[in-house]
Structure 1
Amino acid sequence: MRARQLWLRFEPYHDVTYFTPESRAATDALGCRGGWMGYFGMRAAPLGAASPELVSAVFYTFAPRMVARALPDAWAVASPAEFLATRLAGVDGALRRLLGDVDTPEIAEAAALGREAALAAPLGGRPLAAANRALPWPAEPHLELWHACTILREARGDGHVAALVAHGIGPCQALALYAREHSLDPAYMRTARGWTLQEWEAVAGLPGDLAAVESATDAAASAPWEALGTAGTSRFVELMTPLALRIASGNEAMRVNPMALDPVRELAVPGWNT
């Protein structure tokens, strides 16, 4: 689907937010105890000093106990505003390392197109997208592009959660289904999101139509690209593909991830709109 192929272009650019040495160093310097406290603090910060219950609800696939190990303690370490500044600093450092020259006409053009698409993303029922859209846009083009990718990413993720709920697929069940369909290690998937073996085994055999969920997710994520139009979307793809490949090739965290995301392999497949 075209929407998934677009996701493959902006997801790697967004992912430097959390899974890079620069990000970890920034949250460690802030005073976070471990990488997950930094992750939950940075990703939840647009919501304000959110409770673990709220974050568990909107992040969806994390076990509530895993979230509760980081929140609300993270808000005693630093305010949401400080987490937002910290994540932007980490992103800036990571992108400069992974991309080298970030002051290019291509990045500036991609930022303008990405911003136009992000501003067309529907916000109703999309709390993480709406919270990120409410933040100021960074001035530098490479960070403006990151902000656009973040809004687009969270808008798609919010829509995915809505599709899972509509199809009656619970948080742990969604991971179990995904692991089975993508031949991912169940133990890795379970521990990456904090579920116990007993919780996993209770849902591992339950049915669920993930193909229907993905179709609904793609449909719900189509509005930004319809607004951007065929020519604008094609140009965004053209500009983002080499950036995504460079980031994925240089970011060790992209090697193994719970999303079964392999941009280096998948972006090599021709036909972005098929």
Structure 2
Amino acid sequence: MASASRQDRLYPTDRERARRLWHLLEPIHAVAYFSPEPLAGYAEAGTKGFWMGYVASRAAPLGTVTAAPVVALFANFHPRRIGRALPEAWNLTSPEAMLAARRSGSAAALRRIWSTDGSGPGIDDSTLEWLADQLSDLGEGAPVDGRGLFAANLTVDRTGEPIEDLWRGATLLREHRGDGHIAAYVTEGLTGIQANLLQVGVGRIPAETLRSARAWEPEEWQREILVLAGMELLDENGQATMLGQDTLLRVEAATDRAAWGAFAHRDPADLDRLEQALGPLADAIQRSGEVPFPNPMGLERQRSE
């Protein structure tokens, strides 16, 4: 197999830009999990509790799916978290209702956060329409190979409403990256919980934030720490060893390379404009406080210019 540096020569990538774009797009997508409008929409659609709403809304593009495929595609959640939501959610609501709730609720949250009354970035309608088209085109043109959750989201059509389509485009690119991230750590021989523990081990995400969000019991968490200690990736206290740090660096580099496929054929000047337009929007979401820091996604707080 080619080394990472040789891969970059064969398939030129801009890993730094891929990661910057993730930091700009992830907050836009993430209002679906944290903002009051989509959360209220899931409850109105019939789901019970935060986690059923989360699982059913994110899995909705797959249709009336049972738990097992979602366990595989979400990857680092405990199977019981998924199993408590599916298929029971489909007795209470439908994928179509959940798709409508997350799209309209997320757009409502973004409209509020990006308001033009002086509390938001004051983005104009033409820029919103341009961003919606750009993100939609990038997502719809991204490589689909091996990306199950991304492919399912491709079946959800544009609505023609700019903020709804902007959120959809950000979601496509986010799930495209996420599918590639899972492939990257599986290639390293890691399971979902082990990938979680490496993120904790390098200090990227607090242990309790990630453990509770992914529903692992303390004894399960500790058992896997010892497994990774036996692999010399963590010490017995859960801190990453040099080998563990190197492994996570490879995972993150592979994730960035895979994510770059969505952007590789765009002119750099167009991507510059995209980053410049997204910057104030992502910053407004960060300043709103609705996406928490720290968070289970590993999204880091960005400094405002």
**1:66-105 alignment runs, 5 A limit:** 66-101=81-116, 104-105=125-126
Partner of 2:58: 43
Q: What SS does the aligned partner of 2:32 have?
A: coil
Partner of 1:241: 279
1:177 touches 1:204 (CA, 8 Å); kept in 2?
no
* Aligned partner letter, 1:88: R
Distance 1:53 1:124, change over 3 A: same
Partner of 2:220: 199
Unaligned runs of 5+ in 2: 1-15, 117-122, 234-243
2:204 touches 2:298 (CA, 8 Å); kept in 1?
no
1:103 touches 1:141 (CA, 8 Å); kept in 2?
no
Partner of 1:160: 181
Q: What SS does the aligned partner of 2:33 have?
A: coil
Partner of 1:215: 253
Query: Which whole-Å CA distance do the structure 1 matches of 2:124 and 2:93 have between them?
Result: 31
Partner of 1:124: 145
Distance 1:224 1:180, change over 3 A: same
Q: 1:24 aligns with which of 4, 22, 39?
A: 39
Partner of 1:5: 20
The Cα shift of 1:183 comes to: 4.8
Distance 1:32 1:103, change over 3 A: farther
Higher RCO (CA 8 Å, separation ≥ 6 residues): 1
The Cα shift of 1:185 comes to: 2.5
Larger of the two Rg values belongs to structure: 2
The Cα shift of 1:159 comes to: 0.4
Q: 1:63 aligns with which of 67, 74, 78?
A: 78
The Cα shift of 1:25 comes to: 0.9
Q: 1:141 aligns with which of 162, 168, 171?
A: 162
Query: Which whole-Å CA distance do the structure 2 matches of 1:157 and 1:229 have between them?
Result: 24
* Aligned partner letter, 1:203: E
Query: Which whole-Å CA distance do the structure 1 matches of 2:252 and 2:268 have between them?
Result: 22
Moved over 2 A (4+): 182-185, 251-256, 262-265
Residues 3-12 or 183-192, more deviating:
183-192
1:103 touches 1:142 (CA, 8 Å); kept in 2?
no
Q: Number of residues paired by the alignment?
A: 267
1:227 to 2:265 alignment: yes
2:57 touches 2:102 (CA, 8 Å); kept in 1?
yes
2:31 touches 2:290 (CA, 8 Å); kept in 1?
no
2:209 touches 2:295 (CA, 8 Å); kept in 1?
no
Query: Which whole-Å CA distance do the structure 2 matches of 1:12 and 1:133 have between them?
Result: 20
1:150 to 2:164 alignment: no
Give the TM-score, by structure 2 length.
Answer: 0.84
Distance 1:183 1:124, change over 3 A: closer
Query: Which whole-Å CA distance do the structure 2 matches of 1:152 and 1:9 have between them?
Result: 11
* Aligned partner letter, 2:78: A
Deviation per residue, 1:175-199 (Å, 9 max, x gap): 1110111253312211110011121
Query: Which whole-Å CA distance do the structure 1 matches of 2:152 and 2:129 have between them?
Result: 24
The Cα shift of 1:103 comes to: 5.8
Query: Which whole-Å CA distance do the structure 2 matches of 1:39 and 1:241 have between them?
Result: 26
* Aligned partner letter, 1:222: W
Q: CA RMSD in A?
A: 1.5
Query: Which whole-Å CA distance do the structure 2 matches of 1:149 and 1:45 have between them?
Result: 17
* Aligned partner letter, 1:213: V
Give the TM-score, by structure 1 length.
Answer: 0.93
Residues 163-172 or 222-231, more deviating:
222-231
Query: Which whole-Å CA distance do the structure 2 matches of 1:184 and 1:213 have between them?
Result: 16
